[in-house]
Chain A
């Protein structure tokens, strides 16, 4: 009698569909991103890579590109302004990046576990700077940082002289009023202050959402075991918050190295005295749009990608294991 059963029996259609969707689900789920990316993301990336090997004045139209190989990159290696912009960017990235998180984590913790009332309005207050448009921020902060009449200097002068605070702040009276935006050494701190102001609330919200993933009973169990608040912060909160911290820090690394709006605003597009406030993206923009050297600008962009990539890779190497782990 012939064996009627084939090696692969024909399963009913619904079962085949089921197996299909189980197996291919992840691919189907990520495909919208990659389809769109192929159109809107890949082309610009390839275009700018190609562009970095050309000399091109954009005003003359697309057909006027001239191939020069790696000449743009070589030229940039010798360019003092390029290296200065890298230096500035790194300085500002660290000076504004670290406080963002050091402030935000305890703040998010305080907001979610430390207080009961006013959670909403306080979080909203910290988040507002993130919402404010760059134009409005520009106007307001240029005036805050003004030398003679700026609020910041007025406040510092007051603190240096008022009886109740002079003991702490009196020492700086001689260097007041600070010329925040005109003197080279002061520009970077001024920019960093603006960046911190704008982004720390964003991190607070991120961490607040992350804290939601930590069940309350963990804390209760810890209390029963006699742990103090500080101990539960360091032994429960921080470890469980790691994926969020990893994510937020990655964003800060990638984002702060690409700062453009804030330095542009505070230096009125010039980069400040001695280019002290010029970040890499600002230099990129000026090279491409002001000085019409699009090829060089593209090369700057890719050197920046290289820098960001290296730093992110280091970050992933050291913290990725725990940062990317899943719940179980």
Chain B
């Protein structure tokens, strides 16, 4: 009798455990899946009864498939990663859940993150559609040897935009380019000095800014750099770009802090020790890159708690954030992590400079910029106008006026 009871009890327990087993699907792209695969067990240990199923797709495929799933109302993973380049796609209402609303109440965590990263996941009408997990504070990587050849200091070079261009002219005398592409300089300039409440391409009222002073100035600076032959006219992420780093034919590069890790591991490992990192000229504060986690609208109510637990696990836990930093070079979005000793380490690649402190300092000061649904259109139209100015010699005012008209046309729909 006792045995029977014990057996019944055991099978009941097993059944209930089996019933309580929930599978959470997570949609990711490289390299985020590498990180989750490592910390998965810890999450499962802390949340018994959950199984994580990771669905990894190519970086652009992931975002395209997500659009299809949201459009058809089914098939989306329960938790999704979204990269900054695509986040504007998902700001419209109905795609991702508003995490500041119940039952998530994410706003209580706002102070855990650097200000700008938080606002990047926030829509203009106040919905928090994603939480930041890693960020890309904008910095300048520069070659110390070229600096020495010209005989100037990094402080002098970054004092102002004009000083930066002067540096380019001096470099030209020595047969070295200032930067791979003048377009990067223009991009840095439009993404910084943005008034509060605005986006990059739209003002607080949603009006496009394509031919505003900030854009005109940015385009003119790039045009100057191009016309004087100070840039190598090499597009990012091309073989020639990597080669330029290896050969040292360019003296500076403006990008997110993450570039350093890539230079070191695979792009130009032999140039270790020749680089340094500094703020962007003129003290401009901006970001390049960043990943977020969100929960699609279609995630069933029964799984919401677990999904939210996973999002919090990946974004609000300092230990997990630091782990990501260590393994996939994902710069944490939480200032509290910056107190970790690893930030004070001198980086050999940068000749011993404890650059992480610089990155952290930049990250904490970048002002918030809102995301608008028209950002993707505006960005492509801006890029097109800029390349016409640089590659085809088009007049800046004309190109930007046309860009403004194009954006206005499109968002009127």
Contacts and interface: CB of A to CB of B under 8 A. Distances in A.
Does a CB–CB distance below 8 Å link A and B in the complex?
Answer: yes
B239 A289 contact: no
Interface stretch (A35-43, A114-122, A249-257, A290-298): A290-298
Interface string B282-313: 00000000000000010000000000000000
Nearest to A291: B377
Contacts of A293: 410, 413
B376 A290 contact: yes
A146 B241 CA distance: 11
Interface in B317-335: none
A264 B90 CA distance: 23
B297 A61 contact: yes
Given A58-B67, A61-B94, A290 B89 contact: yes
A149 interface: yes
Interface in B103-127: none
A292 to B, nearest CB: 6
In which size bucket is the chain A interface? Answer: 35 or more
A250 B67 CA distance: 34
A143 B384 CA distance: 23
Interface stretch (B70-78, B142-150, B343-351): B70-78
Given A143-B239, A146-B238, A182-B235, A59 B383 contact: no
A242 interface: no
In which size bucket is the chain B interface? Answer: 35 or more
A241 interface: no
Contacts of B380: 270, 286, 290-291
Contacts of B90: 59
Nearest to B66: A59
Nearest to A149: B240
B215 to A, nearest CB: 18
B205 interface: no
Interface in A191-216: none
Interface in B385-413: 387-388, 391-392, 406, 409-410, 413
A61 B71 contact: yes
B373 interface: yes
A61 B410 contact: no
B92 interface: yes
Interface in A55-104: 55, 57-62, 64, 75, 78-81
B224 to A, nearest CB: 19
A274 B72 contact: no
A291 B92 CA distance: 12
B353 interface: no
B285 to A, nearest CB: 27
Contacts of A80: 406
Contacts of B64: 289
A59 B392 contact: no
B46 interface: no
A275 interface: yes
B66 to A, nearest CB: 8
Contacts of A60: 70, 92-95
A83 to B, nearest CB: 13
Contact of B94 (A59, A146, A149): A59
Contacts of A286: 380
Contacts of A294: 71
Nearest to B385: A274
B243 A149 contact: yes
B373 to A, nearest CB: 7
Nearest to A295: B413
A146 B235 contact: no
B184 interface: no
Interface in B234-291: 235, 238-240, 243
B86 to A, nearest CB: 9
A161 to B, nearest CB: 22
Given A59-B95, A148-B240, 10 more contacts: A58-B71, A142-B239, A146-B240, A147-B240, A149-B239, A181-B235, A270-B380, A274-B387, A274-B388, A290-B376
15 contacts: A59-B90, A59-B92, A64-B94, A75-B409, A75-B413, A146-B240, A149-B243, A183-B391, A270-B384, A274-B388, A290-B89, A291-B410, A292-B89, A292-B373, A296-B413
For the complex of A and B, 7 pairs with smallest distance between CB atoms: A58-B71, A60-B94, A59-B95, A273-B387, A291-B377, A59-B70, A273-B391
Interface of A: 55, 57-62, 64, 75, 78-81, 142-143, 146-149, 179, 181-184, 268-271, 273-275, 286, 289-294, 296
